[in-house]
A and B are shown apart, each in its own frame.
Chain A
Amino acid sequence: MNSYILIFIIIGYLLLLFGIAFWAEKRAKKAWVNNPYIYALSLAVYCSAWTYYGSVGIAATSGVSFLTTYLGPVIAFPLWIIVLKKIIRISKQHKVSSIADFISLRYGNDRFLGALVTLICVLGILPYISLQLKAVSETFGIISNDVVNASENIFQDSTFYIAVLLAVFAAFFGTRTTDATQSKQGIVFSVAVESIIKLVFFLGVGIYVTYILFDGTTDIYNQISIENNFESLTTFNSLESGINWYFMIALSFLAIFLLPRQFHVSVIENTNQKHLKNAIWLFPLYLLLFNVFVIFIAWGGKLQLGDAANPDYYSLLLPLQNGDILLATLVFLGGFSAVISMVVVSTLALSTMLSNNLIIPYGFLDKFSKSRPERNANYIKNMRRIAIFCLILGAYFFYINFNIQLSLFSIGQLSFVIIAQLAPSFFIGLFWNRGSSIAAKTGILIGTLITTYTLVLPFVLDTFFNNHSFIEFGPWGIEMLKPYALFGIDFLYPITHAFFWSIFFNVLTYLSVSLSFKGNYRERNYGEMFVNSKYNSLQENAFVWKGEAYVSDIRRVLNRFLGQERTERALNLFYLKYNLPKSAEKADSRLINFSEKLLTGSLGSASSRILISSVVQEQPVTLIEVLEILEENKKTITTNKFLKQKSDELTKLTQELKAANEELKLQDKLKDEFLDTVAHELKTPITSIRAASEVLIDSEEMPDELKMQFLDNILKDSERLAKLIHNILDLEKLASGREILDKKLNDIGITIQKAISGVNTIAEQKEIKIIIQKTTHELPARYDEDRILQVLTNVLANAIKFVEEKKGRVEVSFEKIQDYIRISIEDNGKGIPAEDMKYIFDKFYQSKNQNVKKPIGSGFGLAISKQIIEGHNGRIWADTTVNHGARFVIEIPD
């Protein structure tokens, strides 16, 4: 394609993005622009050109390790959300504008720390941005068929113009207000749009390669699996490689928090904490989709283009090779989108840091405090605009002059390692109030030094000075200090090796310095506010300050930076909130804290602290005083919490009492019912006996046959009475636990046999078949045989009672399941009505479903069975068989 047409397309595309950003800016409050999906998509700024092109390159050369960059964030996502919630809460409370501001504030508005973090970020990100430009330039060259020769006159290099356009875009939308914490919906929305574009086009080329160039995934797999190094592309290869994986995943997990662009979109641009709920599944899904075709594009490229072509650009070269220029152009635009969003958001975040945490606090404060308010705002904006241009152009010149030899992927990882040095002071400081400013500074410095020694230095020596001896033998031939194998650890890749040692010493320094030197009261104060960020009431009064300050002085400072109107509005709100008289002359600690926060958004925390303290007479506060005040605050909170807890406990207790009372009432009612039923059951045979006896006494004329019948009735009812009393006592004995089971080693098969022979006579009379399904010959277990026999006989007798004569069939089976013996007794009778199922094991339950009109039996059988089985720590239950009969299952431990 002609390069002029391509430039035309690029400019058209950029104009479109301008339009989109403009449109979104105007509708910033609308649900269209401000919603969780836009938030989740904006997080995908994580996927830069590195993802877009570099993953394919890595997949083609080193196999599955490209996944680590995405696995880290995905694995840690639930955790990420929890921690992020806290970070967002703190950032909104304190009007934090960047990660440098966040860290500096945590350690008591430390000016140097903010500047240090800023420098680290610039150091880490600048090569990364230059890589993005390299990607644009090289892909531009591939599409337009130009020979890439960047070192010639820059004014003939299209990349230069693209870089300038990006800078204009970022500067225009990124610096519309001086308050860096204000949401920039235009940029966020265009990032979200770009995220969709890059995903769609990348998936497009994935589908194209997999299903059009090849015959689906299987086809590619079959073809590539013949290649001789195939094994190494799909496996870990070794334990070392596994350890490397582990560290790479950890690294990318840290990156998702700490990369300035990630912090910017996920924290600063977060407009609603609820958006996190959707991001928790949307973002991992996005990453997953992005990686679906990576491996197939890589394999497809290897097969069609071979190793001669740069594997980073397989996704472009494949359609080009096959004559699909349109698709190639779209893929190019997708990659370009990845570049734009990364470059714009990164430079925006970095420019805020540069202005608020480096330039203003170190150079311009004096000038600002003498200048007029409207001019100050412009100064700040211009400073950021210049910073954006400098960063992008700096990255461009970095790219031109060093013409980086490494692939996209490894420079990306180098960036990660440098940025990861912020992790200890960032994360530990968030949860540990002892972490001090000096510890953070030394930790970061030492970590960075080690990274430089183990990664940057050998690379520079190797690439630019052709000096290999440093890597191979170490400095002055000291084995232990070999940069890629420090202290003899020689099995890690250079990146993971550097990451491991730098973080190790970083954390070690941070912890030991924090423990050995106490920070000043201000650090401790902010430490407490960060760590306990959940107590909102602590926030308001937790700021410790002592001294003399006049409202008028503070008002003057605010006026200078915020303008008269905003200052008055903010102060009115403040007085209203704390219910203070507007006429107050002296300022208290709350006003000081409030004013610092107000300025932080525009100037960064360190500057605002310096400004405010320049107009007030601060008295030194001892650490003990700070701790006392904080303790007091905490106590109030704790007391409130304690009271609430107590009241909750009381409510709970009352509820428990109520429930217990209900339970007792129910028990009482059940007992009454039980006694009623017992009385009824006992009275019935007694009534019968008494009536029959009365009749017999007066029976001179009665025929003998009838007399015999009455006598027989008396006998039967006496037996019934005796049996009933026996059962009641038996059940009572079992239920109260007074019955001691005589558990011995028995064989369940034999016991079942015995039970069957006990009921066989009745079964034979009714011509009912009893079948045993054996799974094993012997199944020994410890149980009380008489009692188990009682249960089995009962269940078998029930089954016989409920099946039809002649057609009836009862099936007994037993088996061992894990450490249980399961006996099941199935019949083909009428089954158990669903409404009765709940009650069949209750005392006195008698089925209304029996074949005879008058129920037979006492209604104790199953209740006793249940007690016996539970006495064996087993279970008994009933359900319905396939042919609607009943099935009783008994399980006892063996």
Chain B
Amino acid sequence: MKKKILIVDDEPNIVMSLEYSFKKKDFEVFIARDGSEAIEILKSKTPDVVLLDIMMPNVDGYQTLEYIKSNQDTKNIKVVFLTAKNKEADIQKGIHMGVDKYLVKPFSVKKVIAEVNELIV
């Protein structure tokens, strides 16, 4: 079965590169431009991994993470933060809230793919 991934970021250019790369690795890719779109998608789809930006308009990454981890249907989905926030406090906050991986921007696409694969073995 195809692995499924949801990419949540408000930067279309970043999304484009990630989408292309994951599709190439045979992932089924869903795209959301902010937290509320992501939550909408999660109501019908169950991806294996969510790549989640933190600083987004409307519903931000933390809120989305909280939704995922507190919802029975989604709480087993792995979540990876992709963010420019790299302060220790931010990382700790994410880990405390149950994020599975924390990757800091600017990232290497290859590294992201490797980490995601490791996460869903």
* Band of interface residues on B: 20 to 34
**What is the CB-to-nearest-CB distance from A440 to chain B, in angstroms, rounded to a whole number?**
79
A residues 693-733 touching B (CB-CB < 8 Å):
694-695, 706, 709-710, 713, 716-717
Give the residue of B11, B20, B33, B106 whose beta carbon is less than 8 angstroms from that of A695.
B20
A676 within 8 A of B: yes
The answer to whether B17 and A854 have CB atoms under 8 Å apart is no
**What is the CB-to-nearest-CB distance from B12 to chain A, in angstroms, rounded to a whole number?**
7
B42 within 8 A of A: no
Cα–Cα distance between A477 and B101 once the two chains are bound (Å)? 118
Given contacts A679-B84, A716-B13, A854-B10, contact A690 B108 (CB under 8 A): yes
Cα–Cα distance between A281 and B11 once the two chains are bound (Å)? 70
The answer to whether B14 and A854 have CB atoms under 8 Å apart is no
The answer to whether B109 and A695 have CB atoms under 8 Å apart is yes
- What 0/1 readout, one digit per residue, does chain B (83-105) give for beta carbons within 8 Å of chain A? 01101000000000000000001
- What 0/1 readout, one digit per residue, does chain A (853-892) give for beta carbons within 8 Å of chain B? 1110000000000000000000000000000000000000
B residues 1-21 touching A (CB-CB < 8 Å):
10-14, 16-18, 20-21
The answer to whether A690 and B106 have CB atoms under 8 Å apart is yes
A469 within 8 A of B: no
A683: chain B residues at CB < 8 Å are 84, 105-106
A689: chain B residues at CB < 8 Å are 106
Residue of A691, A694, A713, A848 with highest tally of chain B CB at under 10 A? A691
* Band of interface residues on A: 20 to 34
The answer to whether B13 and A688 have CB atoms under 8 Å apart is yes
The answer to whether A691 and B84 have CB atoms under 8 Å apart is no
A692: chain B residues at CB < 8 Å are 13, 16-17
A200: chain B residues at CB < 8 Å are none
B39 within 8 A of A: no
A687: chain B residues at CB < 8 Å are 11, 14, 84, 105-107
Cα–Cα distance between A706 and B107 once the two chains are bound (Å)? 21
The answer to whether A694 and B110 have CB atoms under 8 Å apart is yes
Cα–Cα distance between A716 and B33 once the two chains are bound (Å)? 19
**What is the CB-to-nearest-CB distance from A679 to chain B, in angstroms, rounded to a whole number?**
6
Give the residue of B58, B106, B108 whose beta carbon is less than 8 angstroms from that of A686.
B106
Cα–Cα distance between A716 and B17 once the two chains are bound (Å)? 14
Cα–Cα distance between A680 and B83 once the two chains are bound (Å)? 8
A639 within 8 A of B: no
Cα–Cα distance between A683 and B10 once the two chains are bound (Å)? 13
The answer to whether B14 and A684 have CB atoms under 8 Å apart is yes
Given contacts A679-B84, A706-B20, contact A691 B109 (CB under 8 A): yes
Cα–Cα distance between A695 and B15 once the two chains are bound (Å)? 12
A676: chain B residues at CB < 8 Å are 85, 87
B31 within 8 A of A: no
Cα–Cα distance between A686 and B17 once the two chains are bound (Å)? 13
The answer to whether A695 and B105 have CB atoms under 8 Å apart is no
**What is the CB-to-nearest-CB distance from B40 to chain A, in angstroms, rounded to a whole number?**
15
- What 0/1 readout, one digit per residue, does chain A (473-485) give for beta carbons within 8 Å of chain B? 0000000000000
B84: chain A residues at CB < 8 Å are 679-680, 683-684, 687
Q: For residue B109, which residue of chain A has the nearest CB?
A: A694
Give the residue of A684, A706, A717, A855 whose beta carbon is less than 8 angstroms from that of B105.
A684
A694: chain B residues at CB < 8 Å are 17, 21, 108-110
B87: chain A residues at CB < 8 Å are 676
Cα–Cα distance between A848 and B10 once the two chains are bound (Å)? 13
B55 within 8 A of A: yes
B33: chain A residues at CB < 8 Å are 853-854
Residue of B10, B13, B106 with highest tally of chain A CB at under 10 A? B13
The answer to whether A713 and B105 have CB atoms under 8 Å apart is no
A706: chain B residues at CB < 8 Å are 20
**What is the CB-to-nearest-CB distance from A857 to chain B, in angstroms, rounded to a whole number?**
14
B110: chain A residues at CB < 8 Å are 694
Q: For residue A677, which residue of chain B has the nearest CB?
A: B55
Cα–Cα distance between A676 and B109 once the two chains are bound (Å)? 23
The answer to whether A717 and B13 have CB atoms under 8 Å apart is yes
Cα–Cα distance between A686 and B12 once the two chains are bound (Å)? 13
**What is the CB-to-nearest-CB distance from A201 to chain B, in angstroms, rounded to a whole number?**
77
The answer to whether A688 and B20 have CB atoms under 8 Å apart is no
Cα–Cα distance between A706 and B24 once the two chains are bound (Å)? 14
B residues 45-63 touching A (CB-CB < 8 Å):
55, 57-58
The answer to whether A680 and B55 have CB atoms under 8 Å apart is yes
A686: chain B residues at CB < 8 Å are 105-106
**What is the CB-to-nearest-CB distance from A75 to chain B, in angstroms, rounded to a whole number?**
65
Give the residue of A679, A684, A690, A853 whose beta carbon is less than 8 angstroms from that of B11.
A684
The answer to whether A680 and B85 have CB atoms under 8 Å apart is yes
Cα–Cα distance between A704 and B34 once the two chains are bound (Å)? 30
**What is the CB-to-nearest-CB distance from B24 to chain A, in angstroms, rounded to a whole number?**
8
- What 0/1 readout, one digit per residue, does chain B (64-99) give for beta carbons within 8 Å of chain A? 000000000000000000001101000000000000
Q: For residue B54, which residue of chain A has the nearest CB?
A: A680
The answer to whether B17 and A691 have CB atoms under 8 Å apart is yes
Residue of A680, A709, A855 with highest tally of chain B CB at under 10 A? A680
Cα–Cα distance between A687 and B33 once the two chains are bound (Å)? 16
**What is the CB-to-nearest-CB distance from B57 to chain A, in angstroms, rounded to a whole number?**
6
Q: For residue B110, which residue of chain A has the nearest CB?
A: A694
B residues 102-121 touching A (CB-CB < 8 Å):
105-110
The answer to whether A713 and B85 have CB atoms under 8 Å apart is no
Q: For residue B90, which residue of chain A has the nearest CB?
A: A676
24 pairs from A and B in contact (CB 8 Å cutoff) = A676-B85, A679-B84, A684-B11, A684-B14, A684-B84, A686-B105, A687-B105, A690-B107, A691-B13, A691-B18, A692-B13, A694-B17, A694-B21, A694-B108, A694-B110, A695-B20, A695-B21, A695-B109, A709-B16, A710-B17, A713-B17, A716-B13, A717-B13, A848-B58
Q: Could you list 4 further interchain pairs (A-B, Cβ under 8 angstroms) beyond the known A686-B105, A713-B16, A848-B57?
A: A676-B87, A686-B106, A690-B107, A713-B17
| A residues adjacent to B (C-beta < 8 A) | 676, 679-680, 683-684, 686-692, 694-695, 706, 709-710, 713, 716-717, 848, 853-855
